[in-house]
């Protein structure tokens, strides 16, 4: 168990955390729960477990990943929003629960802006457009040509209606004027299994979740959704190469219930920033297809505000609704 001294806390603040008030001399004194609002196996789960392991090593206390999937991430996010704001329950969130769902669901169980305190941006990552090898296409133009020749015959999997992968696909179909069939699953993990087994033909998913399967030849990667090529899969073109203006990236961020102690937020923020500077962690994230994040809670707040506005526009463009 780590006994955090005043000097250590001040050092943590100096490396980018929020301003702290006196009063938190020890943290953590019991296990900390990191809620992942999706089933195991997806990119959020993969990165959360890496972060939990690093936090456990650095703060000498258990950090437990708790998968609570459902409602596009809303169930897990609601659990955290309504948890005691003591720093012992946090959310590893993605664009869905923090930026997208409020525009998809007519009734939300939490207030995205008011019910959470930003802690730190963990990663930025692109989506990769993949197809099952049986589809037989190798490029984005070939996929578009196939879809136009046989409208409604290509099924694509997502982790649920309104997820960032779903909206990335909707944006793709709207910009290319093709008709694909959406098959939503309860999480990106089950959706990925459907693609790997050939139950569906196509899927947008984050690089961390897809890179191992791309390298193993289990899926065919066509392009990345970012504005620039990925250092992880440098041979893959961007979708924008063929569909000018296309961009749909993802990210992961750690947030706490609103009202969580500022010194605790500062300490966790500083610890995550420290681990993201470790070569072995950075190499692991890059190998997965994720760019290390970092920065202060205020930086994350600005990021969330910008992402909220971006996804609001995309949801309106798509006309998607989750209920």
Domains of the chain, earliest start first: 6-125+250-318 (3.40.190.150), 126-241 (3.40.190.10)
Calpha distance 195→214 (Å, rounded):
12
Range with lowest mean pLDDT among 111-115, 131-135, 137-141, 285-289: 285-289
Confidence of residue 17 (pLDDT cuts 50, 70, 90): very low
More confident residue, 140 or 72: 140
pLDDT digits (tens, 9 = 90+) for 190-249: 999 999 999 999 999 988 789 899 999 999 999 999 888 888 889 999 999 999 989 888
pLDDT digits (tens, 9 = 90+) for 88-112: 999 999 998 999 999 989 999 999 9
**pLDDT of 208:** 79
pTM, entire model: 0.76
Calpha distance 267→15 (Å, rounded):
10
**pLDDT of 4:** 40
pLDDT above 70: percentage of residues in the chain: 92
**pLDDT of 25:** 63
Listed in sequence order, the residues at least 6 apart from 200 whose beta carbon sits closer than 8 Å to its beta carbon are 132, 155, 156, 157, 183, 191, 194
Taking 50 as the threshold, does the pLDDT of residue 7 lie above it? no
Burial class (CB in 10 A: 0-12, 13-18, 19+), 185: buried
pLDDT above 90: percentage of residues in the chain: 68
pLDDT digits (tens, 9 = 90+) for 275-306: 999 999 999 888 877 889 999 999 999 999 99
More confident residue, 70 or 320: 70
Confidence of residue 15 (pLDDT cuts 50, 70, 90): very low
**pLDDT of 19:** 37
Taking 90 as the threshold, does the pLDDT of residue 146 lie above it? yes
Confidence of residue 1 (pLDDT cuts 50, 70, 90): very low
Q: What does each C-alpha distance from 203 to 130, 132, 222 come to in angstroms?
A: 5, 9, 11
Listed in sequence order, the residues at least 6 apart from 313 whose beta carbon sits closer than 8 Å to its beta carbon are none
Q: What does each C-alpha distance from 247 to 125, 127, 169, 170 come to in angstroms?
A: 12, 9, 11, 12
Taking 90 as the threshold, does the pLDDT of residue 50 lie above it? yes
pLDDT digits (tens, 9 = 90+) for 163-182: 788 889 988 998 999 999 99
**pLDDT of 157:** 97
Pairing of strands 32-36, 63-67: parallel
Q: What does each C-alpha distance from 26 to 22, 173, 273 come to in angstroms?
A: 11, 52, 20
More confident residue, 249 or 322: 249
Taking 60 as the threshold, does the pLDDT of residue 72 lie above it? yes
Taking 70 as the threshold, does the pLDDT of residue 10 lie above it? no
Q: How are the residues of the chain apportioned to helix, strand and coil, as percentages rounded to the nearest 5?
A: 45, 20, 35
**pLDDT of 63:** 98
Using alpha carbons, select from 288, 262, 287, 299 the residue that is nearest to residue 121.
299
Listed in sequence order, the residues at least 6 apart from 162 whose beta carbon sits closer than 8 Å to its beta carbon are 72, 96, 100, 101, 104, 105, 315, 320, 321, 322
């Amino acid at each position: 168990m780590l006994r955090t001294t005043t000097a250590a806390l001040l050092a943590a603040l100096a490396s980018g955390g929020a301003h702290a008030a006196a009063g938190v001399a020890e943290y953590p004194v019991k296990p900390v729960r990191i809620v992942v609002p999706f089933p195991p196996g997806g990119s959020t789960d993969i990165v959360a477990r890496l972060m939990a392991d690093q936090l456990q090593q650095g703060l000498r206390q258990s950090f437990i990943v708790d998968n609570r999937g459902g409602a596009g991430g809303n169930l897990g996010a609601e659990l955290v929003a309504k948890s005691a704001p003591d720093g012992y329950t946090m959310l590893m969130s993605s664009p869905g629960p923090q930026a997208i769902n409020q525009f998809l669901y007519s009734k939300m169980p939490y207030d995205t802006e008011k019910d959470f305190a930003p802690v730190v941006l963990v990663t930025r990552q692109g989506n990769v457009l993949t197809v099952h090898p049986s589809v037989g296409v190798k490029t984005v133009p070939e996929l578009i040509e196939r879809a136009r020749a046989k409208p409604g015959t290509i099924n694509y999997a997502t982790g649920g209606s309104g997820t960032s992968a779903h909206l990335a696909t909707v944006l793709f179909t709207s910009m290319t004027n093709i008709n694909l069939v959406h098959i939503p699953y309860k999480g990106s993990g089950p959706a990925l299994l459907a693609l790997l087994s050939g139950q569906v033909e196509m899927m947008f998913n984050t690089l961390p979740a897809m890179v191992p399967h791309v390298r193993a030849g289990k899926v065919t990667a066509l392009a990345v959704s970012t504005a620039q090529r990925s250092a992880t899969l440098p041979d893959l073109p961007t979708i924008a190469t063929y569909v000018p203006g296309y961009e749909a990236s993802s990210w992961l961020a750690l947030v706490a219930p609103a009202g969580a102690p500022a010194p605790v937020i500062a300490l966790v923020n500083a610890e995550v920033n420290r681990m993201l500077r470790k070569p072995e962690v950075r190499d692991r994230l890059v190998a997965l297809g994720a760019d290390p994040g970092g920065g202060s809670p205020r930086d994350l707040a600005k990021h969330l505000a910008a992402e909220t506005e971006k996804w609001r526009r995309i949801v309106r463009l798509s006309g998607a609704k989750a209920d």
